[in-house]
Amino acid sequence: MIQNPIYILTFLCGLIFISEWLTKHTILKHISGPLLVIILGAIVANLGLIPSASNASPVYNSIFRYVAPASIFYLLLGVNLKQLKKAGLPMLMAFVLGSAGTALGVLVALNLIDAPEVFGENYKAIAGMMTGTYTGGSANFNAVALHYDVIREGAVYTGVVVADNIVTAIWMLVTLSLPAVMMKFRPHPELKVEGGDQIQGHDDKEQLNPLSLGLMLFIGIGAMFISDEIAALTEIPSVLILTTIALVLAQLRVIQKIPGAKLMGMFAVYLFLVVVGAFCEVTALIDVGEHAFDILLFTTSIVLIHGLFLIITAMIFKSDWNIIAIASQANIGGASTALALAQSFKRNDLLLPAILAGSLGTGLGTYLGFLVTGLL
């Protein structure tokens, strides 16, 4: 039953409902919806109530493949390009610094463990894989892994994937709380983006009817289809094409008047994040035996050094902590989690910069991954 797609979808939607209800009607209202839905997903997966990383359902793959890009598309339909005027450059700088911190973290982490002993002859490729995934995402991770045939090393590959999932989920929680914590130690003014107030978050009372829902689904699915087809012909990352289409459509008044985009986008984000939580499987690390701790230390060290590097540079340049947290999440978690973070902070002016940073990471991650592997 646990692998039944209908059962899984029922459970995931139920978790989204529970997290929203708890954040609106209980003491947990001080916790953001994205944070709570990740926690609930991790709890029920580790209790065996839904599939986890080691026995992942095709439903999860479909959510990563289709729902995550859809969340980007629909939320971008409410974005005004004017917000790039100020937030674009700071976000880009923070993202580039975060990428540098990732590369530094990989090099340091390799020296904290006996990499050849833990990973075998593939340790250089794995360093490139981690550079790629913590610059862009899993697509970059798998691109390097496929090229160097690391996926044939079942236990090591699975161990790295599980450790990555655990650290990524935890880092989402860290970045959610980072601005509030750091403002107590080093207050920095928030960089308010001109025109950002024109972009409103989703309205719980946003009206949907069969006409607008059908039109929104047609536009969204059609844009994803076109993006995939162009990507297959040009080798340009599909998410970059999808982002471009969404931004062009977002400037059209006729599209702006169609209700439901923000509501659909946020539900898609929640569905994606609950699966991120489900992939946070602690017990799966046992399968890699004596090297489980080393793999987890390796992965954790990369992200911690990345985070410390960003925090130090943010203190030097007196950066907006929200931008730093979102840029870091764009590195570690990708465009969808960066977008969810911006929405959680109620910084609608940073929705587009978050997506652009994540998209940039997807475009650059594979190149940086191969570069690090080659240098090693």
What confidence tens digit (pLDDT) does each residue in 225-255 have? 999 999 899 877 787 788 889 888 988 888 8
pTM of the model: 0.70
Q: Are 247 and 79 in contact (CB under 8 A)?
A: yes
- Indicate the range of 203-207, 289-293, 369-373 predicted with least confidence: 203-207
Instruction: Summarize the confidence of residues 286-296 as an average pLDDT.
Output: 78
Q: How far apart are CA 338 and CA 364, in angstroms?
A: 16
Q: How far is C-alpha 21 from the geometric centre of its chain's CA atoms? A: 24
Residue 360: per-residue pLDDT: 82
Between 101 and 137, whose confidence is greater?
101
- Listed in sequence order, the residues at least 6 apart from 1 whose beta carbon sits closer than 8 Å to its beta carbon are 7
What confidence tens digit (pLDDT) does each residue in 4-57 have? 999 999 999 999 999 989 988 888 876 667 778 888 988 999 898 999 877 778
Residue 203, pLDDT above cutoff 60: no
Instruction: Summarize the confidence of residues 343-361 as an average pLDDT.
Output: 84
**pLDDT confidence tier of residue 195, bands split at 50, 70 and 90:** very low
Residue 78: per-residue pLDDT: 72
Domain boundaries along the sequence of the chain: 65-375
Burial readout 192-210 (b: 16 or more C-beta within 10 A, e: otherwise): ebeebeebebbeeeeeeee
**pLDDT confidence tier of residue 205, bands split at 50, 70 and 90:** low
Q: How far apart are CA 371 and CA 376, in angstroms?
A: 9
- Listed in sequence order, the residues at least 6 apart from 102 whose beta carbon sits closer than 8 Å to its beta carbon are 130, 131, 134, 135, 302, 306, 331
Q: How far apart are CA 72 and CA 227, in angstroms?
A: 13
Residue 201, pLDDT above cutoff 50: no
Residue 226: per-residue pLDDT: 96
Q: Are 126 and 160 in contact (CB under 8 A)?
A: yes
